[in-house]
């Protein structure tokens, strides 16, 4: 992974660029990376803003031979890889919040956005985008996101080697990805659940249609969907939602 690396001094969105490259046939493992992303995209149509030069935005092309319903598992693999890399490089223990946020004390350090290109029921490409807040100071973030975002520097008081963090994430992602292809999702599921902050807690899940489900987060299933037990004891499978821990 990352053998085909395309670096931009600045770019609108690595995700958008990578989507185009994937449509044009760019191979598995292509990585687009920048430390100045101007119009980043977040999940659920949101924007992703990052202080210039103080973090990394990157998007990775995968061409897995997997069925569509297994693709969300790749987001969870990415989250475990980020978790491991951050712990190794900085010593900080992070929390994973379903499906894809990496938090420390409730504030976001890394966001992950997984998108796919399909043809019929075949997966042509999966694009995994990661935005990482590394060396930003508190005041570098726009006022409106200061209460929800933080950086590794803010937490440790020192600057971190951004390329080492990227290399370490790719190293773990590749290791976990190959293991996943060989052994299946259960090992990843276990690692993910053991670092997930929401599991075992009461949560509110805001669904696409605006409906909110409240209950106990029990874990994830084999597809990576979140299992929520409501107060009547029924289990709901959640594929896409915003989670709030009560």
Judged by the rule CB under 6 A, the positions of this chain that interact with ligand BTN are: 13-15, 37, 40-43, 46, 48, 57-59, 101, 111-113, 129-131
Using the minimum distance from each CB to ligand BTN, give the nearer residue, 95 or 229.
Answer: 95
Say if residues 114 and 131 touch (Cβ distance below 8 Å): no
CA dist 200 and 206 (Å) reads: 18
Using the minimum distance from each CB to ligand BTN, give the nearer residue, 1 or 216.
Answer: 1
How far apart are CB 218 and ligand BTN at their closest, in Å?
23
The number of angstroms, rounded, from the C-alpha of 200 to the middle of its chain's C-alpha atoms is: 21
Say if residues 34 and 14 touch (Cβ distance below 8 Å): yes
Using the minimum distance from each CB to ligand BTN, give the nearer residue, 81 or 216.
Answer: 81
How far apart are CB 16 and ligand BTN at their closest, in Å?
6
How far apart are CB 19 and ligand BTN at their closest, in Å?
10
Strands of 94-211, DSSP E: 95-97, 101-104, 107-119, 122-133, 202-207
Helix (H) or strand (E) run with residue 188 in it = helix 186-195
How far apart are CB 79 and ligand BTN at their closest, in Å?
11
Say if residues 91 and 114 touch (Cβ distance below 8 Å): no
Residue number closest to ligand BTN, CB atom: 111
Using the minimum distance from each CB to ligand BTN, give the nearer residue, 216 or 226.
Answer: 226
């Amino acid at each position: 992974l990352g053998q085909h690396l395309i670096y931009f001094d600045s770019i609108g969105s690595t995700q958008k660029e990578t989507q185009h490259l994937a449509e044009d046939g760019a191979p598995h493992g292509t990585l687009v990376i920048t430390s100045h992303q101007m119009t980043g995209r977040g999940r659920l149509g949101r924007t992703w803003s990052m202080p210039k030069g103080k973090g990394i935005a990157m998007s990775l092309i995968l061409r897995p031979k997997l069925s569509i319903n297994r693709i969300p598992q790749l987001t969870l693999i990415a989250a475990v890889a980020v978790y491991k890399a951050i712990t190794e490089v900085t010593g900080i223990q992070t929390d994973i919040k379903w499906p894809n946020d990496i938090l420390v004390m409730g504030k976001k350090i890394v966001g992950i956005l997984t998108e796919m290109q399909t043809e019929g029921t075949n997966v042509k490409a999966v694009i995994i985008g990661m935005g990482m807040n590394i060396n930003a100071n508190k005041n570098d973030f726009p006022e409106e996101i200061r209460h929800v975002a933080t950086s590794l520097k803010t937490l440790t008081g020192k600057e971190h080697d951004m390329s080492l963090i990227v290399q370490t994430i790719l190293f773990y992602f590749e290791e976990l990805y190959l293991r996943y292809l060989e052994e299946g999702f259960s090992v990843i599921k276990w690692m993910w659940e053991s670092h997930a902050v929401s599991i075992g807690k009461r949560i509110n899940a805001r669904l696409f249609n605006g409906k909110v489900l409240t209950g106990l987060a029990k874990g994830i299933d084999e597809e990576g969907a979140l299992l929520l037990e409501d107060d009547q004891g029924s289990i709901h499978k959640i594929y896409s939602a915003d989670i709030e821990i009560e």
